[in-house]
Amino acid sequence: MVAPFEQLIHREGDSGDFITTNPENCVACKKCMIVCPVNLWKLENGKAVIRGEYKQICLECGSCWQICDYNAINFKYPKGGTGVIFRRG
């Protein structure tokens, strides 16, 4: 079953890898897991990893990048004409 938020968003074009991680910096504080509105982060072997399909679900809010105090997450907005489009709400 498709989650409600996935019915509200549409993605345009290939946005590339706009979130990457520096796993050597991650201290497993879990803040990114708490803040992500669509639950894209999990711990794997003591390091935060983002779900493989994040490009289809991520809202591009940048919260995970903002909240990480250890420079373990890199975020940049997808290039113009690509990325998330909110259909409603």
Q: For residue 17, what are the contacts with CB-CB under 8 A and spacing of at least 6?
A: 55
Specify the stretch interacting with ligand SF4 by CB under 6 A; choose among 8-16, 58-66, 81-89: 58-66
* Cβ within 8 Å of residue 37, ≥6 positions away: 59, 61, 63
Q: By CB under 6 A, tell whether 40 contacts ligand SF4.
A: yes
Region for residue 74 given its phi and psi (left: phi exceeds 0; alpha: psi -120 to 50; beta: otherwise) = beta
**Span of 9-17, 68-76, 80-88 interacting with ligand SF4 by CB under 6 A:** 68-76
| Site residues (CB under 6 A) for ligand SF4, limited to 14-33 | 26-32
Q: Does position 63 bind ligand SF4 by CB under 6 A?
A: yes
